[in-house]
Each structure stands twice: as C-alpha cells, then as structure tokens.
Chains A and B, each alone.
Chain A
C-alpha cells in the first residue's frame, strides 16, 4: 500500500537499531527509530507498528525521534512500545493515545526475606489465599467500596494517601516512580462516569494480561546492584502487573473524545484519530494532564492496596516473620514532564511512554536515595510461565530514548490466533507439569495469554542490553501465577 514502510526504506544504524529517515514522508518532523535485531524485524513485517511509529513523528513539538522498544507491536495511533517526547515550550502536544487507555498500567515488585525452600510447602495455600484476597474486579468488584470524598483524596494524593488510611508503609511509596503521586492531579476533571467505575475497583487486578506472580530470584547478573535492590538468589518475590482499571479506561475515553474534537480546531491533520492531541498548555491539554495524573494516582493506590493484601496473605500463610518490602514500582503507560538535554540545550518535555518503561541510571534527582548510585529498578515481565527480568538504566545515567526501555515481551499473535493454537485447559496442565501453580478461572483467558502468543522475552531483554538501553540485574522464575477471582 502506498506510504507503508517497506524494508528498503529502513536505514540500519546498528545490529539492534533501525531508522525510518525523516525524508521517507513529507509530514515527518523527526525520524522514527526502533530497536530490534534482524530476526525480530522479520516478525513485525506483517503488522503496522512501523507505519504507526512514522505517524507519531508527525506530531507537533516532537523532539529527536519517535522511538519503539524491542517488544513493539501494532497498537492504534501509537504503536505499543512507543516513546515520544514533545517540547512544552515549542507548542508540543500531549496525546492520550500516546499513553494508553490503561493509564499507569505498570509493575510493582515486592521482595521477601523468605527463601524458596521455606515457601515450597506453603505455595499452594499462599497462591489460593492471594487468589481469593485479590479480586480481578471483573463482574464483581473490590473487597470494599470507596466513598466519594475518599476517592477524590486518592485521586489527588495516590499512594501516600493509602498509607494515611492505614494500608502499607511510607517506604512503599518512596520506592515508587514519582513517589506514587503525580502532583498535577485534579480530581475535579475526572468524570462522574469514571468515578462510578473506580469506586469499587480499588485493589483489583483486572483481566487480560494483568497478573500477580509469586517468583523466585533465579539468577543474579549484577551482584552489587541486585544487593542494593534487595534481591538475593533463591529468595521469593511477588510481581504485580495492573493499572487504573475502569476509572483510567473511562478517563482516557473521555479525553480522546474531547481531543478528537479539539484536533480539528487546532488544524491538525491526523493520519489516525487515535493520535488526537492538543498543545500541552492548551485547555484540553491541561485538563487531560490533570486527569491522567489523577488516574495514575489511582493506579498507584491500586497496586499499593494489592501489595498490602499480599503482605497480609504472607503473614496469614507463612507467618509474621515474612518481611515484604517494595523493591520498586514502574509505569509503562504514562506521560511525564521531564527535563532532557537535546543538542546541548535542556528542554522541558512531555514524555509519552505507551508500553515502555522509564529506565533512569545513576545520578538522576528523581531517584530514591538508596538507588542514587545505581539507578532505579526496571521490570520486564515475561509471559505466563516464563522468566521475568529485573534491569537497571545505563551507567551513563540516561539512554538516547529519553531514558526508556521495554515493558515486557510484546505480543506476536492475535488473541483469536492464540486460542486456535492453544487449548487453555491443556496449557494449564502443561504449566502445572512444569511446576507452576495456576490460579485462574478462565481457560479462554489463559489461552489468549499463552507464551507462544508473545515474543521471546529473552530476545527482547538481549536487544535492550545490546542497544545500551538498560543493564541486566536478575532473572526471576515464576512459581505461581494468579489471575484474580
């Protein structure tokens, strides 16, 4: 089709970095750069992720390049795995589609003082306990309903407010990107519809590719950084992957609608309505920034609540000596105002990460003190039953992609194709044979999330390292996968 990126349009910058030059299309403002090796490049030839990345380069105020991480795949508007930064003072736009419907979908890792040998006899009970304690929130809601005034406080203050309510500890939000709260939040711009959806979903996992895993630290690649992160071989960790639930989905829906209207007024000729945007400093831009921040705070409060219940489950099943600490919490669908140096000039940017994770190395002022000399942890969840990775930003402090990294394995097959290739019940049995405990109601859901539907996380992680985006710290192996009751 005319205008579609073909292999002959690509410039190979290195073995793991390719570019669609700005000259490819008249409306591109910067090049499109993506991190893949040759084998992975062949795999994306059938999806539209490159065309989508090229579309992103047309957005006003975009700086340097539109980037895509090795787990990239087709999305809508922006590709999944996309990073784009717009300069606030150059008419740079903010786009809800560049952040995603699941605002602040992200990953939290908790580390325990318990070893695999100690937990082994209790794993089934622990998995069952967590399964019943942490609802999926689909069909039926959370364990409790939040009153309107309390919900507003959570939207305003995020994780720190949960501690004030008596859940968890202040270290849980200190060890969290942005301290578990974006200060631009304003609950008043969250719609009644979004609040109605969010009031009984706090502490729920959601469905699809969201999960909670009990894992074992399997291999350490960087001993000193792992020690700083509190990760030791054979110790038990818990990984939580979820986002802002219906509140976030509704918030994005509300603002995509208003941005679609606004884009016409701003005179933007968008190749895809899902790229709908407005200047960051416009009324629509500011309303969305405030709403996105509030929804992000809800997501942090959500993961904070789930972390609290995981602690309770450990205490109930293992005993009070199981010390559970938050290692860190990263977002992978978010927009952050950050300062970056571009051609020697420091600029304030709105950095969109959609299916991409921040990966700041040592020295950044936003780091918790304990991570000042290492950089903060970065989590790359694998697929069900496969390894996940803990990484850390580069030694230099900031990589070329605005300090960004991948967020997981990235899909390669559609859900319907996965269901055709994989029988959910058989997958469940196969995982059990491999020694992985599964707590999930839906075999259909399992099939859709089968490992073969995803790229190989080992390959994705390898490209990240070879590209200098981040460094490997540890590999985690799953012991139990919980998908929420």
Chain B
C-alpha cells in the first residue's frame, strides 16, 4: 500500500495519505507533513527529541487538522522535525501520540503556515483509509 503521495496544487502543498486503519492514517499524515517539508538537521546535533501530542476535536477531520497543527506548533517553537509517530490512544475524537525526531535548522520547503480543512475528507475505500490534506505555505 502506498503510504502517501503529493498531488498538484497551484500555490500550496497537497498530499494524499493512506492507511490500513484510521490510526495508521493519522500517523502517516504527520510523517508525510514533515517529509514534504524536507527537514534540514542542525549540524553537529546527533540527539533525538521526543514530544507528546494530545488533542481532542468534534469530528475526524477537525481532529486531523488539530493533530497536525499541534505538531506544527511544537516544530516551530522548538525548531524540530518529527519522523516517527506512535499513537498511544485513539478514539472518536481524541488522540494522544508520541512523536520522535530531531532538531533542525529549518526546512527545505520553508515552512507550512497552516493545515487547512480544504478537500479534507477521511473515508475508507475497499479497506483502505484515505484523505487529502492541503497545507498553506
């Protein structure tokens, strides 16, 4: 199964993410967001970093936006990028996740201003969970 792919969008970044479960979809969405940003590791820094994200929302799509927005917030204030995401707790509509990554001096693609709701629809087709996500850059 593909994990994620980039789709065309005139001004921003659009991805399509796949997962065998909703939980896996959320984990991959976070990893995809940072992969598409292209982290530039801080020279000389070898250590890994770890954060816990905990968000609640009123539906699946809002949870996705809030979850990724939370990751972006931590990324910006701590200058970090996350490549591993393990969801410890997932229920409608709440997530607690542990993310791991590294300190960065920036990202190849600059920065993501925000996660948008545009075209975001989490749905299952033939046993595969899928959604599109547009990031404002």
Contacts and interface: CB of A to CB of B under 8 A. Distances in A.
Interface of A: 47, 73-77, 80, 100-102, 136, 138-140, 193, 196-197, 206-208, 246, 249-250, 252-253, 256-257, 260-261, 272-274, 276, 411-417, 441-442, 444-445, 448
B38 to A, nearest CB: 7
Contacts of B108: 442, 444-445
A421 B104 CA distance: 28
Given A138-B106, A445-B108, A257 B62 contact: yes
Interface of B: 6, 8-13, 38, 40, 58, 61-62, 65-66, 69, 73, 76-77, 79, 104-111, 113-120, 134, 136-137
B110 A208 contact: yes
B109 A249 contact: no
Contacts of A444: 38, 108-109
A249 B12 CA distance: 14
Given A76-B134, A274-B117, A261 B110 contact: no
A441 B13 CA distance: 21
A414 B8 contact: yes
Given A140-B79, A197-B77, A250-B73, A415 B117 contact: no
B116 A414 contact: no
A207 to B, nearest CB: 3
A261 to B, nearest CB: 7
Given A139-B40, A207-B111, A444-B109, A77 B73 contact: no
Given A75-B11, A206-B111, A252-B114, 11 more contacts: A76-B134, A76-B136, A138-B111, A196-B77, A273-B117, A274-B118, A412-B10, A414-B10, A415-B137, A442-B108, A444-B109
A260 B62 contact: yes
A415 B69 contact: no
Contacts of B137: 207-208, 415
B117 A73 contact: no
B73 A47 contact: no
Contact of B9 (A140, A196, A414): A414
